[in-house]
Chains A and B, each alone.
Chain A
Amino acid sequence: DSGVTQTPKHLITATGQRVTLRCSPRSGDLSVYWYQQSLDQGLQFLIQYYNGEERAKGNILERFSAQQFPDLHSELNLSSLELGDSALYFCASSVGTSEINEQFFGPGTRLTVL
């Protein structure tokens, strides 16, 4: 158990809908990262927050947004969902922002868009 929690574990929804994925980092970790994992693209970095502020952006679509709250939990909002958004979404956390800080991954949320 990495100490990172994600809810829900599974989500099934329809095209055009909006969903929110939630992540609680390990105690003491200030950085939260979001990743999307699909069979053909592998694990893709979406966005990083550090202590409430956005620090880095990857291949995140404009339909997706995220935020980190004062209690350090983070939410990833996915809107106008398309079939291609079906994937595993992982949250990871680390102590700081340096590359040498190990990222601990949560168990993921499996999103299915029908």
Chain B
Amino acid sequence: QVKLQQSGAELVKPGASVKLSCKTSGYTFSTSYMSWFKQIPGQSIEWIGMIYAGDGGTGYNQKFKGKATLTVDTSSSTAYMDLSSLTTEDSAVYFCARGELLLYGVMDAWGQGASVTVSS
């Protein structure tokens, strides 16, 4: 079955960067899209951006341009998200989620989430 396994919780200092990973299995990684989302507990969900694993092409929510960088490693079927210049406003749970090739705006499988806490 489709699985998305995210890396663990991170505690980082303001101004630092963090790289989150999302290791996939159970489907053909290179013919799907991966999106990333931000959710502050108790609040709604924000779409950060997406990457097509086939060629690394990306699309970002303007709000997160310069903050998030999405990459993939097709050899390990893993997607990554780099978050830079972190502030307390970046403290949240981050999810990766798969979008299928023809309906990539619909997230039919999600990772378990990774908590990022930005604190000095």
Chain A partners chain B: no
Name B residues whose Cβ lies closer than 8 Å to a Cβ of A: none
